A and B are shown apart, each in its own frame.
Chain A
Amino acid sequence: MSDVLPPVEADETESENRTVTRPRSKMMNDPVVRRMAYLAAGLVIVFLLVVVTALLTGVATPSGPRTLAEREVAVAGAAVQAGSTDTAVWGQYIAALIADKQYGRAKDFIAQGRESLDDSKTAEFSLAEARLYAGQKQYKKAIEAAEKTKKQVKDAFDARIAQGGMAKKAAELEGISSNYYDAILIEAGAYRSLKDWANAIAQYDLYIEGNGGASDILVDRANVKIESGDIAGAEKDFNEALRFVPDDPEALAGLKKIGVSK
């Protein structure tokens, strides 16, 4: 800003003379100050008008969910608010919150769930924690939480088997909780983000061992194999995926990427 004030223009002098009865701050006599004040007032007015217009035109007031994540939050949230004590419902709600990037609320519900519900069999809240860390890109913590989930679920399953009798039969019939495999996938994803291809492949191996026909995971493992330089292994996985889902677009895209036709 210049120390020398601009010369007063004739019309401004005249304008001041005309408004001689109206008191005005002396700073406002400076035309530059006056213009800046007008600009500031104008900006505020324009902003407020934008807010009002957004409300009037309905841009800011949708009545229902606009995205899949918002829908999941709404539907799963309603069940939790209704007082559900099903840990799976809580897990679903927390997963929806994480997908909608509401990490703070997700953390609160994990804490609330741990306090009020028993998740010793399914490790629902450990899994939710792994999911939360992965969403927040804290991959090492996500791996730790996923490992904890896997151990908790496996221990609970083994304990049921060890009980023998009906408990054993029921456990064998139900199989291990699907949270075990969800934790594997979170862990694999975290290793992948850390570019630790060997451990990511090891987790996918573990998953495929229990779910042989999971074509989407075969495609994921193939893509990691490409990153690790195992092109032959990737081709094998893509072709295996196509065996389960012929014309799977992702498998075909993968084969195209490594220059192999179906």
Chain B
Amino acid sequence: MSVGTDSVAPTPSSQATRSRRGRRILGVVLAVLILLLGLSSYFLYRMVTPVGGNTGGTAAVDDGGLVWVRSIYGKSDAPADQFDQTQGVASASDGSLWITDGGHFSLMHFTADGRFLGETKGPSDTPLQAPSRLAIGNDGKIYVCETMGDSLRVIDPSNVTTDAGSFNIPSPVSVAVSDDRIAVGAVSGFAILEKSGKPIKVFGSRGKGDDQFDYVHGIAFDEAGNVYVADSYNNRLSAYDKDGNRLWIIRTGKPSNSAEEVNDNLTVAEPTDAALKGKDALQLPLGLTVDGAGRVVVVDMYDCTLAVFNAADGSFVGKYGIEGADDGQFFYPATVSYDAGRDWFTVADGLNNRVQIVRIPGSAGGIGVAATVRRAIAGPLRACIYPFLLLLLAFIVWLVVRKRRQKRDRGHESTNIENGLTNLEASE
């Protein structure tokens, strides 16, 4: 062992004793430190992870495996800042959420962790009028339905004081945006527009016929540009290709607009063409979206569930969720949007006055490591990203230093051998 700066060299035995003591002390310190940091990390994790989800008396009821991630109830803890009948929610590409409700006539912006970032009521000269359903384009622009104002408003979040445009659409009740198109659902049908607002195709009239609609409360594009439509009061789902040709149409339950008075009672006859019956049947299909696996996910408002359909033929896959007030349950949910980056759904849980973030089985676009990592870092584990990168960097530095040392040692070794050989030759 080297002497260091001491003028008098300690004896090997005294140094060994000191080191033994040092090892013991540091060993204990290290053990205590690991324990303390472990406990602190545990409490930190508990603190940032919301505790809730389906518990208690409803455990006996099958919710299909829906997993609650978290809920957002309002802008702050103040009673006036709590949501009042959430109507619309859309996920931006950075994971943040834009939310509308019946109590605040504004677009409210939140991080996915539930931190309120701000809100806009639109430009001061043309403020938003009762914004409801909304969608966000890849360019970040927000398209908002103003049902009462017969208008679809465009809001640029980076410049909310300037009017970014609007389209005159009679009673718009749903909206979807793709790379180059906008689809708007209305009372009597739906329209596909260019981003400039120029109509490409307009579908339907109000009624119960095959090509008629009664409130298109849900509309969504898939990656190929196909359009999926929830014809709410006719209780139907249909799909159209990019050119507007219908791919399929199914009746998902009893239509809500077919009540008839029989013997002084309002009754709805069992439809003969319904694809879904009994517990599978939808009661009122509302908002819809397309998940990472390409499936159509529909909010069933009255059944308080998310229903999943195969996008290829409209065949029923399953239902997820149950009615209730607890976190992870729904009560008159209105709309749903899918965040591919985090593989979760954001649901405007209307009469529970909240937005819920949930996951359902089989929704991920990718499988394996990438999807697992994406899911993990969408939650509190995100706090470990920088420490992990630091550890990775430290490991790389250690590897490089070790490599260089080994190289240098090998250099010393060969020099020593060469010197030895030279000495040997000289002595010979």
Binding site for B on A (CB under 8 A): 1, 3, 5, 8, 10-13, 16-17, 20-24, 26-30, 32-33, 36-37, 39-40, 42-47, 49-54, 57-71, 74-75, 77-79, 101, 216, 219-220, 223, 247, 249-250, 253-254, 257
Q: Which of B22, B77, B390 contacts A65 (CB 8 A)?
A: B77
Which of the candidate stretches B65-73, B196-204, B268-276 sits at the interface with the other chain? B65-73
A61 to B40, CA, bound (A): 17
Q: Which of A32, A61, A257 contacts B60 (CB 8 A)?
A: A257
Q: Which of A60, A74, A219, A254 contacts B77 (CB 8 A)?
A: A74
14 contacts between A and B (CB under 8 A): A16-B4, A24-B4, A50-B383, A60-B47, A62-B113, A63-B76, A64-B76, A66-B52, A79-B79, A216-B57, A249-B58, A249-B323, A250-B58, A254-B60
Q: Which of A13, A40, A47, A75 contacts B29 (CB 8 A)?
A: A40
Cβ of B111 under 8 Å from chain A:
yes
B48 x A54 contact (CB < 8 A): yes
B387 x A50 contact (CB < 8 A): yes
Q: A27-B22, A66-B73 are in contact. Are A53 and B2 (CB under 8 A)?
A: no
A27 x B60 contact (CB < 8 A): no
A253 x B61 contact (CB < 8 A): yes
Give chain B residues whose Cβ lies under 8 Å from the Cβ of A5.
1, 16, 19-20
A61 x B73 contact (CB < 8 A): no
A258 to B314, CA, bound (A): 35
Cβ of B114 under 8 Å from chain A:
yes
Q: Which of B5, B82, B391 contacts A21 (CB 8 A)?
A: B5
B113 x A58 contact (CB < 8 A): yes
CB distance from B412 to the nearest CB of A (A): 7
CB distance from A199 to the nearest CB of B (A): 19
Give chain B residues whose Cβ lies under 8 Å from the Cβ of A220.
57
B20-43 at interface with A (beta carbon < 8 Å): 20-24, 26-27, 29-30, 33-34, 37, 40-41
A60 x B57 contact (CB < 8 A): no
Q: Which residue of B lies closest to A51 (CB)?
A: B44
**Majority secondary structure of chain B interface residues (helix, strand, loop or mixed):** helix
Q: Which of A1, A22, A71, A247 contacts B20 (CB 8 A)?
A: A1
Q: Which of B20, B73, B111, B387 contacts A53 (CB 8 A)?
A: B387
A5 to B23, CA, bound (A): 11
Cβ of B405 under 8 Å from chain A:
yes
**Majority secondary structure of chain A interface residues (helix, strand, loop or mixed):** helix
Give chain B residues whose Cβ lies under 8 Å from the Cβ of A3.
16, 20
Cβ of B376 under 8 Å from chain A:
no
A78 to B391, CA, bound (A): 44
Q: Which 9 residue pairs are nearest across A and B when measured between Cβ atoms? A: A27-B22, A16-B2, A54-B383, A30-B19, A74-B77, A62-B114, A66-B50, A67-B52, A65-B73
A1-B27, A57-B383, A250-B60 are known; give 18 further A-B pairs, CB within 8 A: A10-B409, A13-B2, A27-B19, A29-B15, A32-B23, A33-B19, A49-B390, A53-B386, A58-B111, A58-B113, A58-B115, A59-B113, A62-B113, A63-B115, A64-B116, A68-B327, A219-B57, A253-B60
Q: What size tier do the contact residues of chain B reach?
A: 35 or more
Q: Which of B23, B62, B73, B391 contacts A33 (CB 8 A)?
A: B23
B2 x A69 contact (CB < 8 A): no
Cβ of B396 under 8 Å from chain A:
no
B273-290 at interface with A (beta carbon < 8 Å): 279
B81 x A64 contact (CB < 8 A): yes
Cβ of B424 under 8 Å from chain A:
no
B18 x A43 contact (CB < 8 A): no
A50 to B387, CA, bound (A): 6
Q: Which residue of B lies closest to A219 (CB)?
A: B57
B79 x A53 contact (CB < 8 A): no
Residue picked from A26, A47, A52, most chain B C-beta under 10 Å: A26
CB distance from A249 to the nearest CB of B (A): 4
B386 x A66 contact (CB < 8 A): no
Give chain B residues whose Cβ lies under 8 Å from the Cβ of A75.
79, 82
A36 to B387, CA, bound (A): 19
Cβ of B399 under 8 Å from chain A:
no
A96 to B390, CA, bound (A): 41
B27 x A59 contact (CB < 8 A): no
Cβ of B380 under 8 Å from chain A:
yes
Cβ of B370 under 8 Å from chain A:
no
Q: A54-B48, A64-B116, A66-B72 are in contact. Are A27 and B18 (CB under 8 A)?
A: yes
B78 x A78 contact (CB < 8 A): yes
Give chain A residues whose Cβ lies under 8 Å from the Cβ of B24.
1
A66 x B57 contact (CB < 8 A): no
Q: A67-B50, A67-B51 are in contact. Are A26 and B37 (CB under 8 A)?
A: no
A45 to B22, CA, bound (A): 22
B390 x A46 contact (CB < 8 A): yes
Cβ of B382 under 8 Å from chain A:
yes
Give chain B residues whose Cβ lies under 8 Å from the Cβ of A219.
57
Query: 1/0 contact trace for B376-408 toward A, CB 8 Å?
Result: 000010111111001100100000000001001
Q: A249-B322, A254-B60 are in contact. Are A44 and B33 (CB under 8 A)?
A: yes
Cβ of B10 under 8 Å from chain A:
yes
A20 x B27 contact (CB < 8 A): no
A83 to B151, CA, bound (A): 45
Give chain A residues whose Cβ lies under 8 Å from the Cβ of B10.
26
